[in-house]
Amino acid sequence: MERHTRQRDAVLTALSDSRRSLTPQEICEFAQRSVPRLSLSTVYRQLKSLLEDGEIVGVDLPGQATRYEALCESDHGEPDHHHHHFHCGDCGRVFPIHGCPGRMEDLAPKGFLVQRHDLTLHGRCADCAGTHSRAGSSPGSRHRRQPTSKGARPKDQKTAGR
């Protein structure tokens, strides 16, 4: 049963404005912009209700908690949720890929019946790829900052004067 509340609307707005899959924690952070006292447990309750009402879908990636996203529209303005995903291994964000490579049934072994499919590309998003190319990092390096111990000097100061 659909019931419009400020909390429900804030969760839906967070999902539709983000244009990507979000974790419950990310949804809570975005939704708190309009409902500051919104709790994570309320977000979970709203997600459950929105899933039951068919207004959102869950996105499952192996080894990760479920993310959520708003329903998409087709090129004709009709609800059409079939799309795939790109998972950035650096920042962890998941982005929709609209379009499909085609008949996945042709890839199945002979005699197998494909009921549905999902495809996730893994790599580095534009933001993270840009960070690496600006910083001159190698393609295999990570851009997350490594913790330094208190009082540690930058690398160039340690080697200066040697």
In the block, tokens 């799309």 appear at 83
Q: Is 72 labelled a binding residue?
A: no
Task: Provide φ and ψ at 115, rounded to 5°.
Answer: -95, -35
- For the chain, the average pLDDT equals 77
100 is an annotated ligand-binding site residue: no
CATH architecture of 82-140: 2-Layer Sandwich (3.30)
Residue 49 tokens, joined: 């209700």
| Domain boundaries along the sequence of the chain | 1-74, 82-140
- Whole-number Å distance between alpha carbons of 56 and 46: 11
Architecture of the domain defined by 1-74: Orthogonal Bundle (1.10)
Q: Please state, in angstroms and rounded to a whole number, the distance separating the CA atoms of residues 47 and 68.
A: 8
Band the pLDDT of 2: cuts 50, 70, 90. low
Residue 28 assigned as binding residue = no
Number of H helices, E strands in the chain: 5, 5
Give the three-state DSSP class for 135.
helix
Whole-number pLDDT of residue 84: 80
For 124-149, write each residue's pLDDT tens digit: 999 999 876 655 444 444 433 333 33
pLDDT tens for each residue of 25-40: 999 999 999 999 999 9
Contacts of 39 (CB under 8 A, 6+ apart): 28
